[in-house]
């Protein structure tokens, strides 16, 4: 139900709009300047080397530092245990470095695959299949901003990291599903250029009293999987342009559907249902562990869940409170990628189910 924004809710709405516009500007600046450089390379032509306790990847055309994401992707594709690699690097001894190099290079030499390596400023951020569908995030973002303009939507959050970005655009209305807990309804566009997430449009809410937020439903999801690319990366530029154009076209229709009134109303009902559904602390902790929280995060979530009569959490032991606990942790997480993951967990609790749950 749409309500008038007054008092604290009105102040918070103005605050997140001001902050969101600044965040959106920084996000756009970063994706316009951090353009990945792409190389297709056969595995046997790659060499892994340890230089000053840092794992690097090189061939006659380049030498890159490895971002942790690219390193993990390479370990996975080669079937080499990442934890063992960490242990060897941790020794900081020549023999350990030599052993790591020997293992990785033997695996590369006997791998018939070709890989797409995506780098920024000589740091490889993605070690990907040569079937990875490259999409240009700039026209995709432009299309979403243009499509939401007619609805009066405004940016309320922009998160950008080395690996991904997410932009939230909220309708200029305040909704209320429960007394004293006004929220805004938003659309989020998110993706990664480095294989950590698909192109996605989802909806969700941010509670104005405490700024806790949770994802709702996904309305568009496209994985970065396409045809095998030639080694001459320039030959695949036209494919990238066409794939991006198709995505942009599809998203324009999805945006209009996401902002249809029935979806905001559905989230109101979902909040009411989650508030009615009881959830004891033990079950809550078991659930969040299954949903991917670390031991430290689970312990923190348990402590927060036990709190009563605090402004940033709704009363009662319910799924709605559980969702808000994880949302509160997300808001206070500095790592942008982890914040997005926690918001998704909050959304799963709001729905009462998730793929990882029995």
What's residue 239's pLDDT? 78
Confidence of residue 182 (pLDDT cuts 50, 70, 90): very high
Neighbours of 97 (CB within 10 A): 18
Give me the numbers of helices (H) and strands (E) for the chain, helices first please: 11, 13
Report the distance separating Cα 279 and Cα 258, nearest Å. Answer: 30
From the centroid of its chain, how far is CA 36?
18
Residue range 325-336: mean pLDDT, rounded: 95
Q: Is residue 322 predicted with pLDDT exceeding 80?
A: yes
Q: Is 29 exposed, middle or buried (0-12, 13-18, 19+ CB in 10 A)?
A: exposed
At residue 233 the predicted structure's pLDDT band, cuts being 50, 70 and 90, is: low
Residue located via tokens 């939230």: 168
* pLDDT of residue 284 exceeding 60: yes
Placement of tokens 């242990």 in the chain: 87
Compute how many other C-beta atoms are within 10 angstroms of the C-beta atom of residue 231. 12
Residue 116 pLDDT: 95
- Looking at residue 358, its pLDDT comes to 34
Q: Report the range of poorest mean pLDDT among 56-70, 132-146, 310-324.
A: 132-146
pLDDT-based confidence at 357, cuts 50/70/90?
very low
**Picking from 129-133, 282-286, 303-307, which range would have the lowest pLDDT averaged per residue?**
129-133
Helix (H, G, I), strand (E, B) or coil at 75: helix
At residue 235, the pLDDT reads 45
pLDDT score for 229: 52
In degrees to the nearest 10, what's the CA dihedral of 291, 90, 64, 123?
40
Exposure on the CB side of residue 130, measured as CA atoms within 13 A? 16
Q: Report domain extents, the chain.
A: 2-33+134-268, 38-129, 277-351
Indicate if the pLDDT at residue 354 is higher than 70. Answer: no
Task: Give pLDDT, residue 91.
Answer: 94
pLDDT value at residue 222: 78
Confidence category of residue 355, pLDDT binned at 50, 70, 90: very low
58 close to 52: Cβ distance less than 8 angstroms: no
Q: What is the pLDDT of residue 231?
A: 55
Q: What is the mean pLDDT of the chain?
A: 91
| Tens-place pLDDT, residues 98-130 | 999 999 999 999 999 999 999 999 999 999 999
pLDDT of 356 > 50? The answer is no
Q: What is the pLDDT of residues 44-66, one digit of tens each?
A: 999 999 998 899 999 999 999 99
Provide the token pair at 57.
């990847």
Question: Is pLDDT above 80 for 192?
Answer: yes
Q: What pLDDT is attached to residue 297?
A: 98
Measure the CA–CA gap between 282 and 54, rounded to whole angstroms.
42
Q: What is the mean pLDDT of the segment spanning 141-150?
A: 92
Write down the residue that tokens 């569908």 correspond to. 133
Distance set, CA 16 to CA 2, 190, 230, 312, 340 (Å): 18, 19, 45, 16, 17
3-state secondary structure of 270: helix
Report the distance separating Cα 62 and Cα 171, nearest Å: 46
Residues 332-354 have a mean pLDDT of 89
202-212 burial by CB neighbour count: b if 16+ within 10 A, else e?
bbbbbbbebbb
Kindly tell me if the per-residue pLDDT of 286 is higher than 50: yes
pLDDT of 237 reads 76
Token pair for 341: 């993951």
Q: How many Cα atoms within 13 Å fall on the side-chain side of residue 184?
A: 30
What 3-state class would DSSP assign to 24?
A: helix
């Amino acid at each position: 139900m749409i309500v008038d924004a007054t008092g604290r809710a009105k102040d918070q709405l103005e605050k997140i709009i001001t902050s969101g516009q600044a965040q959106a500007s920084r996000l756009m600046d970063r994706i316009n300047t951090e353009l990945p450089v792409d190389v297709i390379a056969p595995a046997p032509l790659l060499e892994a080397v340890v230089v000053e306790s840092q794992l690097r990847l090189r061939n006659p055309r380049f030498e890159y530092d490895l971002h942790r994401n690219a390193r993990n992707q390479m370990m996975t594709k080669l079937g080499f245990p990442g934890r063992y690699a960490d242990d060897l690097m941790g020794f900081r001894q020549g023999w350990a470095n030599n052993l790591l190099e020997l293992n990785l290079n033997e695996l590369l030499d006997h791998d018939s695959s070709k890989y797409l390596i995506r780098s920024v400023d000589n740091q490889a951020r993605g070690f990907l299949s040569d079937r990875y569908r490259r999409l240009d995030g700039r026209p995709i973002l432009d299309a979403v901003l243009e499509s939401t303009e007619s609805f009066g939507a405004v940016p309320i959050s922009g998160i950008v990291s080395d690996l991904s970005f997410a932009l939230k655009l909220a309708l200029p209305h305040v909704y209320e599903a429960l007394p004293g807990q006004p929220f805004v309804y938003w659309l989020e566009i998110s993706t990664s250029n480095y294989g950590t997430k698909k192109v996605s449009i989802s909806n969700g809410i941010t509670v104005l009293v405490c700024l806790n937020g949770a994802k709702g439903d996904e309305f568009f999801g496209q994985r970065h999987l396409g045809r095998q690319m030639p080694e001459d990366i320039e030959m695949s530029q036209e494919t990238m342009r066409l794939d991006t154009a198709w995505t942009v076209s599809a998203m324009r229709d999805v945006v209009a559907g996401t902002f249809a009134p029935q979806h905001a109303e559905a989230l109101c009902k979902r909040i009411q249902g989650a508030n009615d559904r009881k959830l004891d602390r033990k079950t809550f902790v078991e659930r969040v562990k299954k949903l991917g929280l670390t031991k430290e995060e689970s312990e923190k979530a348990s402590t927060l869940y036990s709190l009563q009569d605090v402004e940033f959490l709704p009363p009662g032991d319910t799924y709605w409170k559980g969702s808000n606990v994880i949302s509160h942790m997300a808001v206070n997480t500095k790592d942008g990628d982890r914040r997005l993951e926690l918001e998704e967990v909050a959304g799963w609790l709001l729905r009462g189910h998730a793929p990882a749950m029995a």
